[in-house]
Amino acid sequence: MGRADRRGGGILTAPVRRCAGCGERAPQRDLLRLALVEGRAVFDRDRRLGGRGAYVHPDPACLERASRRGGFARAFRARVTSAPQALDSD
Ligand SMILES: [Zn+2]
């Protein structure tokens, strides 16, 4: 299942999100989505989890900054009791 390439349409704009780690804006598709489940930030790889999302670059430095400096709490606007420590963890 390929994703439709809409370039050339000229109307649709790719959604942009802010990385919870470094704070830079990036196209949503270039960032990893996390969702808050019972106070824990977890990767939402299939984008199935609802609610407010947080986004980070697929970069260990951004993940660490987001979890250690409250970036996730700011993104979720909620207390976050734990967050992934590695990009390949849950
Ligand atoms: Zn980042």
Residue ranges of domains in the chain: 16-76
Cα separation, 65 vs 22, whole angstroms: 7
When the pLDDT of each residue in the chain is averaged and rounded to a whole number, the result is 89
How high is the pLDDT of residue 28? Answer: 93
Query: What letters, b where the CB count within 10 A reaches 16 and e where it falls short, cover 51-64?
Result: eebbbbbeeeebbb
Cα(20) to centroid(ligand 1), Å: 7
Cα(68) to centroid(ligand 1), Å: 13
Q: Does 69 or 90 have the greater pLDDT score?
A: 69
Cα(56) to centroid(ligand 1), Å: 5
Tell me what the mean pLDDT of segment 76-83 comes to: 95
Cα(71) to centroid(ligand 1), Å: 10
How high is the pLDDT of residue 90? Answer: 63
Render pLDDT for 11-54 as a digit per residue (tens, 0 to 9): 678 899 999 999 999 999 999 999 999 999 999 998 899 888 99
Helix or strand run (H / E) with residue 16: strand 16-18
Instruction: Yes or no: say if 32 and 87 are a contact pair by the CB < 8 Å rule.
Output: yes
Q: What share of the chain is helix, strand, coil (3-state, %, to 5)?
A: 20, 25, 55
Topology adopted by domain 16-76: Hypothetical Cytosolic Protein; Chain: A; (3.30.1230)
